[in-house]
Structure 1
Amino acid sequence: MVHTRQRSRMIDCLNNFQGSVKAQLSESTKHVESIKGEIIIQHTHAKSGLAKPICIQLYSLNDSCTGKGKLRQGVYLNHGKRIQNKLNGITCIKYALTFEADRDFGFPGAFVIWNQHKDKFFLQSLSLQVEFKQIVHFECNSWIYPNHLMQKERIFFSNTCYLPSQTPNGLLQLRKQELDTLRGDGIEGRIREWHRAYGYDFYNDLGDPQRGEGPILGGSIHYPYPRRGKTGEPHIHSENVKEVMFKMSTCIPPDERFSPQKQSEFAKKVIQATLHFLGSQTNQLKSFNKIKELFSGKKSQGVEEWMVKKLEDHLPKEILKEIGQGIKDYTAKFPMPQLFAGNELVWKDDKEFGRQMLAGINAAVIQCLQAFPPRSKNGIWSSIRRSHIEHNLDGLTLQEAMNQWRIFILDHHNYLMPFLGKINKNGVCAYASRTLLFLKDDDTLKPLAIELSLPGLSRGTEIQRVFRPGGNGSEAALWQFAKAHVGVNDSGYHQLISHWLKTHAVVEPFIIATRRQLSVMHPIHRLLDPHFKDTMHINALARSTVLKGGGIIEKTLYSGEVSMELSSSLYKEWRFDEQSLPGDLLKRGMAFHNPDCLAGVQLLFEDYPYGRDGLEIWVATKRWVNDYCLHFYKDDNSLRSDHEIQEWWSEIKKIGHGDKCNETWWYPMTTLSDLVEALTTLIWISSGLHASVNFGQYEYVGHPLNHPIKCRNFIPMEGTKEFAEFLHDPDKFFLKMLPNRSETTLYMALLEVLSAPTSDEVYLGQQQSPNWIDDVWVKQRFEQFAEELNKVDKRIVERNADPKLKNRQGPSNIPYKLLRPAVSNVKSCQGITAIGIPNSISM
C-alpha cells in the first residue's frame, strides 16, 4: 500500500516536471539570454555514462507567485569531458551547460537536479556565469540517487550565505522545504540509504543486551551517552553477522558518505592491513626476535597466494573488489613504526616513558598533582609514601616540589576500580594504576613510582603494590612489568576515551543538529561543514565493526566486554566547556590563568609539545572564528534573534547530548562570545585534538612492547611459583604476560588503517574548493588564517630543532609533528611525519 502511494507520487512529480519543461520551451524567447555553466561529477557506476537522463533546473533569487524563486527550463547533461582535480589528482567528468532565461530572471540562487538514470552518482559542484561574467558557485559533494528511489528532486543552494532574516524572497520557501526534508518530514516506513533524513538514536546497535552483549547506551542515568545518527537499520544479533575484520556499507544520509575516491582508498588500506595481519599469523611471539619479525626489513616480503585466498574469510566482497590486478603493490609484513626503527629498545627507556605523556599519542591526560598522597573516591589513600620518592626529587623535599608544581600524575585508578572485577576474567589480568613523575630542571619528566591496585577481598578495600625505578636484576625487571601495566591502562583510555568518546562520539550530535536546524545557506553551517566531513560514516563503520559486541575492541583491549560501559561511565564527567584546549589545560593543572597571554592561559612549563603547539593553533583558530562571526552578526541581539542558531543550540543540549541537558555549564548562547567559544571548541575537537590522538597511533601503539593492549598475568609475588618462574627467565615471563599473537596483530591492523589519511583529506587552513563561499572578505580573511597557520608551523619546526627542548624529540630523535599544520604529500607520508591537521574526524 505504502509502495503504491510512493510510486504514484513519483509519477505525478515527474509528469508535473515534464509538463513544466514543455511549457517553458513553448514560451516566447524575445527577452532570453544565456547562462553558461559547468557541472562536475566525480564518479558514477553507470557503464555507459550519465548524459541525458540527468536534468537540471535553476531557481532565481527573485520571488515568483508561488513563494519560491523563478524556475527556468531544464537542461540535460551531454558530452562529458574527463578532467583532473589539481588539489588531489582525482579524475572527474565535467559537463558544459547552457540555460536560456528571461532577462528578469535575475541571479540563480538554487538548482534542482533530477536523476532519471538507474544508478547513483557523486555530484561535486556546479558553477554558473551570469551577467558581467560574475560566477555563482554551488558546492555539492553528495551522492545523487535515482528519482525512482528519492521520489523528489534534489535541491542545492549557491555558496552565498544568508542569516534567516536576510534570506532572499525567492529562497524562503526552499530554505524551509530543505530543512523539512533533512528532518525526515514526510518519510514513511524505514529510513533507507537514499533518504536525506537526520534523526537521533541511542547506542542500541552494538549488540543485544538480553544476550549479555552490553547495555544500551544513552537515555538513562546509569548509562548516559551522546546520541548517534539514526540509520534505520534493524537490530542484528552479533552471532548472525559474518565475522569480518572491516566493512564498508552502512545506512547514513548521502551527504555524509565517503566520496568514491575515499571509498576506494579506504578499502585498499583495509586489504593491506588484513594482509599484514594474515602474514603475521605464522609467527609465534615467544621471543623479542619473533616480535621483530612482525615487521618488514629492508626488503618487503611479497604476498603469497594462500593469503589472498584467506582474505575472503575476513573481508566482504565490496572491499575485495578493490584488489583488482594490483596485488603486487601489497606487502605481507607490517611496516616498522618509525619511532623504533632507529632504536629498538626505546620502549624500555624511562625518559621516553615520561616524554610520551607530554608528546605521545595520549598527551592530554597527564595532570599536575594537587595533593599528596592521591586518594580514591571511596577515601582510600594511595600507598605511595614520601620515602618512596623523596630521594629522587633532585635535592628538594616533597613539599618544596609540590609548591613549585613539579609533581605530576598519570591517573588510571579511580575510574577503573569499579570495573576490575568484570575485566579480570577470561585470562585478563588488569590493575588500576597511578604513576607519579617529577618535573626536572630541563622540563623532562622523571618517573618516581607506580602504584598498581586491585579490589580487596572485602568491599571498599584495595590491594596495592608500589614499584620504583632504578636497581638492577629482578627489581629492574619488575619495574618494566609495572610500566607495561600502565601502558595497558593508557592504551585503553586512549582508544575508548581520548579518541572515540571525546572526539568521534561527542561531535556526532553537533553534526546532526547542524544538518537539521541550520540551513546550508546559514554562515555557521558554511563555517562548520568542512569540520564534519566523513565523521558520521566513519562512526557508523566503527559501531558495526570495531565497537560492536564481539568486535575488534572487545577482542583486543584489556577492557573487553565492558569497554563501552566504561566509556559511558567516563561520559558522566564530560563537560563541553572543558573541551576547549585552555579549559582542558586549566582543569589538569597544566596551565594557569594569565590575561597577558593570547589564549588567556600560560603553560606551567614551555616544553610541553602538545600544549604549546595546540595553544598556538587554538589562538589562530579562535581569531578566525571571531572575525567570521562578527562579519555576519552585527551585535548580540542579532544572534539572539537568529531562530535557526537558537534551535540548533537547544537541540544539541536537549537531544544530542540529552543526558547532559540539565547541566548549568552549557553556554547560554546569548552573546557572540558564547558562539565564538562554542564554535572554536567544536573545531578544535574535530581538527587539532583528533589529529593529536589519531594519526600517531600506529607509531606509538603499533609496536606491541611500547603500549601493550592487555596483560595475561599479574606481576608475581615473592614466594610464589610464578615468582620463581620469573626469576628463572624474566624476558620469557614478560613476553608470556603480553597478549597473544592474534590479539596483538589484529589491533596493529586496526591502527594501521586509522593512522593514515586518504588523498581527498582537507586540512586546517584549506577548503575543499577555492570557491567554497561567495564572499570576497571571508576568502581573504581565510587566507590570512592559512598564513597564520603556516607561521605556527615554522615555529614548531624551530622548536623541534631546539636541543634545549628535550621533549620535542626524545631518545629516538623523532620530532613531535602531530600538530604541525603544514600539509605534506600524503602518498609519501609514513608514520608520524608532518601531514597537516585534517579538518574533520574522518578516520
Structure 2
Amino acid sequence: MGFCSSLGTSHKAMEVFCMKSKESTIISQKKVAVETKKIKGTVVLMKKNVLDFNDIKASLLDRIHELFGKVVSMQIISSVLPDPENGFRGKLGKVAYLEKWISTISPTAARETQFTVTFEWGETMGLPGAFIIKNHHHSQFFLKTVTLEDVPGHGRVHFVCNSWVYPTHRYKYNRVFFSSKTYLPCQTPDLLRYYREEELKNLRGNGTGELKEWDRVYDYAYYNDLGSPDKGPDYARPVLGGTQEYPYPRRGRTGRKPTKTDPNSEKRLPLLNLDIYVPRDERFGHVKFSDFLAYALKSLVQVLLPELKSLCDKTINEFDKFEDVLRLYEGGLKLPNGHTLGKIRERIPWELLRELARSDGERFLKFPIPAVIKEDKSAWRTDEEFGREMLAGVNPVIIRRLQEFPPVSKLDPEVYGKQNSSITKEQIEKYMNGLTVDQAIEENKLFILDHHDALMPCLKRINSTTTKTYATRTLLLLQDDGTLKPLAIELSLPHPQGDSHGAVSKVFTPAEEGVEGTIWQLAKAYAAVNDSGYHQLISHWLNTHAVIEPFIIATNRQLSVVHPIYKLLDPHFRDTMNINALARQILINAGGVLERTVFPATYAMEMSAVLYKNWVFTDHALPTDLLNRGVAIPDPGSPHGLKLLIPDYPYAVDGLEIWSAIKTWVTDYISLYYPSDSAVAADPELQFWWTEIRKVGHGDKKDEPWWPQMSTIADLVNSATTIIWVASALHAAVNFGQYPYAGFLPNRPTVSRRFMPEPGTPEFAELESDPDAAFLKTITAQFQALLGVSLIEILSRHSTDEVYLGQRDTPEWTDDGEAIEAFERFGKRLVEIEERILERNRDERLRNRVGPVKVPYTLLFPGTSDFTREGGLTGKGIPNSISI
C-alpha cells in the first residue's frame, strides 16, 4: 500500500478504497504444470517507408535486417504471475516475432499494415497487462494497436499504443505498452507497478543534453529561443519566463546549446528547418504534416521579400483602392514581366512559384474569398457589423459591461498619471435612442471594448517602430433589437512629457457621410487594429497555445497512460507541442511572421509576457469569464446558473451549451474512478501532476491564491473541464474565424502606419479628396497584407485527419464499458447542440447570428455529426485540441 499512502492518507481508509476495484492479487508462486497454449495476436502499424514518402532506402535496409534475423520481437507481461528472478515483477512470456514482415506489402499511401504474431501463454500467466516490444530493424515504425485473441480465461485483450518505436539501440530501456485497462495508482496490479513507474521516469528524462528525435522526453524550458542575438542587437529578444518582468508559461525543452552572445538564450535552427525537437509522439502525423506543408508553401512569402515588393502595383507596397484588395480573391496579382520573373527564379524554386501560381498560370497569390465579403462586399463597413463581431467574430471574448462612467483605468496613477477616459455624457447621449448614460448603466445596456490599459504601458515603444497607433476604448449601446450600436471611440497616446503626465486622448463619434464619415471609419480601424493584435497575441496565442503546453508536459511526466485522467485529457493535447514549436521557429520569433504583420512588431512577445501577469486559470472557465466581464449575472434557476445580459450573444449562447456538455461528460467520467474527495487527495500521480503544473509549468504563477487545491472531486472536475474547454472550444472560437473575418484585411487590419490626419495637413486633404486611398495608406500595407493573409489562411484550415469534440481517433481507447457509454452520451449531446445552433442561425429575430455580412455563427458548431473529413476553410467544427 506504500504507493498510495505516500501522501499521508490513513492505511485503513486507503486499503478499503483501493481494494474495491483492485485486480486479483498475486496468485500462488508454486509451479503448476499447465499446458501452454498458443494465442494469436494482430499488430497494426505503419512503416516508416510508407510515412516518409516511400523511402526506398528504409524499406531495403529493413529487408536486409530481416534476412539476418534482426526482427521485431514481443513479450507479454503477466499482471498476476510473479517472476522471483526479476524482482517479483510480472512474469514475461516467451519471445514472439512479427510474422512475414518482408512479404507483407505496405500500401503506397500512409495507411495501416496488419501483422500476425503468435504467443505461447499458459493459464497460470493470467491476464496480460502489458508487453515489451523490441525493434531490431533499421527504421522506426508507428505502432497503433495490438490485439490478443482467445487469451485463456480472459478472451480478447486490446492494447492502444499510438507511438513511434525506434530501433532498440536508440533506447536505454525497454519499450513497454499497457492494455486498455484503466487504473488509479493504488489499483494497479502489483506486478505492473514497476513498469508503470519506470515508464514515467523514462519520459521525464534527466534534464541534460540536446534531445534527439527518438528521445521521448517531456521537460520544461523558458522561451529563450525566440531571438538570434548572434546576428546582432536587432535580433536579440528577452527571455520570457523566470522573471517578474517577463513571466511566461514554460515550453518543451529541446536542450540546444546557448548562443555565443547571450548564454541565457538558446541557439536557433535555420529559419526553414522545421525539424525542431518535440517528443516524437507529439509530432504531426503524415496526413497533417502533408496538409501543413501544402498550405505553408504559400505562406513562406517572406523568402520573396525584395521580389514581392517589386510586384506591387504602381504605388510600391500600397493598395491604391479597394478594388486592388478584392483582386487578391478575384484574380490574384499579375505575374511580373519576363525580366523580373527571371530574377525571381534565380532565388526561388520553380516548384514554389508553380504553387503560388495556382492553376491558371497567369496570376499568383489568389486567395479564397473570405466569408465576410462573399455575400456583400461593403457590409463589413456598417456600424452594426462592427459591433456584432465583438459578439460573434474572431475575438468575442473581450467585450464587457460598463458599470461606471466614465470608464476608469486600473493603471497605477503614480506611474502613468491620469488614464481615466475622457469621453463625456454629452458626446454620446445624442446617439443613445433617448436614454441617458445613467439609465443605460442602470438597465445594463452600456458595453465597452477596452484595450486602453493593455496597450498604454508599451505604446510609446511600439510607436517608435513603423507602427503609429493608439490605445482605444469603444463604447456601445445594447439596443432593443439585440444589436450593439457604437457610440464613441477614444484614441489615446502617452503624454509627450512623460508617462506620469497621463494620456492625451481624442474622442470620435459616429458619422456616415463626408469627411466626418471617413474619420469615423478610420477610428473604427484603429480600434480594430488594437483588437486584432490583442486577439492574435493574447486571446489566441497566449491564452490557448502557450498556457496549455505546461499541462501537456506535466500530464506526460506525471500521469501514466493507464491513469483515468491521462485518458480523459490526452486527446485534447494532440499536435499542440508541435504547432507551438513551429510557431517559435517561424511565427513568434525575432523577424518572424507575427512581428512583420501585427502592430506591436518587435515588442509583440514582450507585451504578451506583461499581460500574462493577469492570467488566472480559473477565470477561463466560461461561466466565470462571462460573470467577470459583466455580460452575465448569477441566476440559480437557469440551466447554466447565469443569465446573459446580451441574450443574442452567439459565442456565449453556443459556448455555454458546449461548456455544459463538457462538464457533464467530465463529471460522469470522473465519478467512475473517484468515489470521494479523499480518493482525489490520496492519488499520488494526480497530486504530483497538479503540483508540477503550478510550481514548474506555470512556475511564475506558483504563489497565486486562485489555484485549486486539487483536494476534492469538484476541484478535479472544474479543472479538467477548463483544460478541455480551453484546448477545444475556446481555441476553435478564436482561431477558425480568422480567415472568414480577417482574410479581408480592411475588416480586421493588423497594423496602422500613421495617426489620424489633422486638419490643414496633406494627409487630411487626401482624406477629403480620396478617402479610400487615405484609409488604405493608414492600415496594413500591401506586403504585410499578403503575408498576413497567407498565414491566417493556414491557421484557419481544418486538417483532413482532424478529430473533433465528441470523437476519438481510437474507438477502443478504454475497455471500461461505463466510460464508453458516458462518452457516447457526450457525443449525443453535441449532436443536439448542433441542431439547436442551426435552428438559431435560421431565426431572423437573432440579428447577431448572421449579421449584415450574412455569415452564420458556426465557430462553436461541434462537428460531431455528418461532418465531412475534407478539412479546409469550413468555418465550423471544434477540434479536440489546439492542433493548428
TM superposition score normalised by structure 1:
0.90
Q: Does 1:707 pair with 2:748?
A: yes
Matched with 1:514 is: 555
Matched with 2:420 is: 381
Partners of 1:43 and 1:433 lie apart in 2 by 55
Equivalent residues in 2 for 1:238-249, closer than 5 Å: 244=271, 247-249=273-275
1:470 deviates by: 2.0
Matched with 2:78 is: 60
1:151 deviates by: 3.5
Decide which of 401, 411, 415 is 1:368's aligned counterpart: 401
1:700 deviates by: 1.1
Matched with 1:5 is: none
Decide which of 271, 295, 298 is 2:297's aligned counterpart: 271
Matched with 1:23 is: none
Worse-superposed segment, 620-629 or 300-309 = 300-309
Matched with 2:377 is: 344
The alpha-carbon distance between structure 1 residues 327 and 517, as it changes in their structure 2 partners (threshold 3 A), is farther
1:774 deviates by: 0.8
**Is contact 2:432-2:477 (8 Å) kept?**
yes
1:490-542 deviation digits (Å, cap 9, x = unpaired): 11001100000000000111111111111111100010000010111111110
**Is contact 2:533-2:599 (8 Å) kept?**
yes
Q: Report the residue type matching 1:470 in the other structure.
A: A
Worse-superposed segment, 230-239 or 285-294 = 230-239
Partners of 1:391 and 1:183 lie apart in 2 by 63
**Is contact 1:280-1:333 (8 Å) kept?**
no
Runs of 5+ in structure 1 lacking a partner? Answer: 1-26
**Is contact 1:56-1:114 (8 Å) kept?**
yes
1:453 deviates by: 0.5
The alpha-carbon distance between structure 1 residues 416 and 332, as it changes in their structure 2 partners (threshold 3 A), is closer
1:390 deviates by: 0.6
Matched with 2:325 is: 291
**Is contact 2:490-2:506 (8 Å) kept?**
yes
Partners of 2:281 and 2:491 lie apart in 1 by 48
Partners of 2:381 and 2:683 lie apart in 1 by 57
Q: Does 1:831 pair with 2:868?
A: no
**Is contact 1:36-1:98 (8 Å) kept?**
yes
1:468 deviates by: 0.9
TM superposition score normalised by structure 2:
0.86
1:142 deviates by: 2.1
The alpha-carbon distance between structure 1 residues 162 and 50, as it changes in their structure 2 partners (threshold 3 A), is farther
RMSD: 3.1
Matched with 2:59 is: 47
**Is contact 2:225-2:267 (8 Å) kept?**
no
1:234 deviates by: 2.8
Q: Does 1:233 pair with 2:236?
A: no
Q: Report the residue type matching 1:749 in the other structure.
A: S
Decide which of 38, 43, 52 is 1:34's aligned counterpart: 38
Partners of 1:634 and 1:239 lie apart in 2 by 46
Partners of 1:619 and 1:248 lie apart in 2 by 38
Matched with 2:163 is: 142
Q: Report the residue type matching 1:176 in the other structure.
A: E
Matched with 1:20 is: none
The alpha-carbon distance between structure 1 residues 829 and 517, as it changes in their structure 2 partners (threshold 3 A), is closer
Aligned length: 808
1:822 deviates by: 2.4
Q: Does 1:214 pair with 2:237?
A: yes
1:761 deviates by: 1.5
Worse-superposed segment, 632-641 or 735-744 = 735-744
1:443-500 deviation digits (Å, cap 9, x = unpaired): 1100000000111122222211111112410000000111111111111001100000
1:239 deviates by: 13
1:43 deviates by: 3.9
Partners of 1:255 and 1:563 lie apart in 2 by 31
Worse-superposed segment, 50-59 or 33-42 = 50-59
Q: Does 1:393 pair with 2:419?
A: no
**Is contact 1:43-1:260 (8 Å) kept?**
no
Q: Report the residue type matching 2:625 in the other structure.
A: D
Worse-superposed segment, 399-408 or 718-727 = 718-727
Identical pairs, percent: 44
The alpha-carbon distance between structure 1 residues 303 and 637, as it changes in their structure 2 partners (threshold 3 A), is farther
1:359 deviates by: 0.1
Decide which of 438, 460, 468 is 2:477's aligned counterpart: 438
**Is contact 1:82-1:92 (8 Å) kept?**
no
**Is contact 2:146-2:158 (8 Å) kept?**
yes
Matched with 1:805 is: 846
Partners of 1:556 and 1:749 lie apart in 2 by 11
Partners of 2:132 and 2:844 lie apart in 1 by 59
Partners of 1:689 and 1:803 lie apart in 2 by 26
Equivalent residues in 2 for 1:370-519, closer than 5 Å: 370-376=403-409, 377=411, 378=413, 379-459=418-498, 460=500, 461-519=502-560
Matched with 1:678 is: 719
Partners of 2:268 and 2:691 lie apart in 1 by 38
The alpha-carbon distance between structure 1 residues 688 and 310, as it changes in their structure 2 partners (threshold 3 A), is farther
1:49 deviates by: 8.2
Q: Alignment partner of 1:124: what SS?
A: strand
Runs of 5+ in structure 2 lacking a partner? Answer: 1-30, 50-57, 314-318
1:197 deviates by: 1.2
**Is contact 1:122-1:259 (8 Å) kept?**
no
Partners of 2:729 and 2:292 lie apart in 1 by 22
Partners of 1:258 and 1:787 lie apart in 2 by 29
Q: Alignment partner of 1:704: what SS?
A: coil
1:818 deviates by: 0.3
Partners of 1:147 and 1:159 lie apart in 2 by 24
The alpha-carbon distance between structure 1 residues 153 and 619, as it changes in their structure 2 partners (threshold 3 A), is same
Q: Report the residue type matching 2:419 in the other structure.
A: I
1:593 deviates by: 1.1
The alpha-carbon distance between structure 1 residues 714 and 755, as it changes in their structure 2 partners (threshold 3 A), is same
Partners of 2:726 and 2:138 lie apart in 1 by 40
Q: Report the residue type matching 1:179 in the other structure.
A: L
1:386-423 deviation digits (Å, cap 9, x = unpaired): 11111111111111110111100000101111111111
1:583 deviates by: 0.8
Matched with 1:189 is: 209
Partners of 2:434 and 2:726 lie apart in 1 by 40
Q: Does 1:259 pair with 2:263?
A: no
Matched with 2:95 is: 74
1:753 deviates by: 1.0
Q: Report the residue type matching 2:136 in the other structure.
A: Q
Partners of 1:765 and 1:119 lie apart in 2 by 35
Q: Report the residue type matching 1:831 in the other structure.
A: L
Q: Report the residue type matching 1:222 in the other structure.
A: E
Partners of 2:292 and 2:468 lie apart in 1 by 35
**Is contact 1:122-1:141 (8 Å) kept?**
yes
Q: Does 1:99 pair with 2:99?
A: no
Equivalent residues in 2 for 1:741-760, closer than 5 Å: 741-760=782-801
Matched with 1:203 is: 223
Matched with 1:355 is: 388
Partners of 1:804 and 1:252 lie apart in 2 by 49
Partners of 1:373 and 1:589 lie apart in 2 by 16
Q: Does 1:736 pair with 2:777?
A: yes
Matched with 1:12 is: none
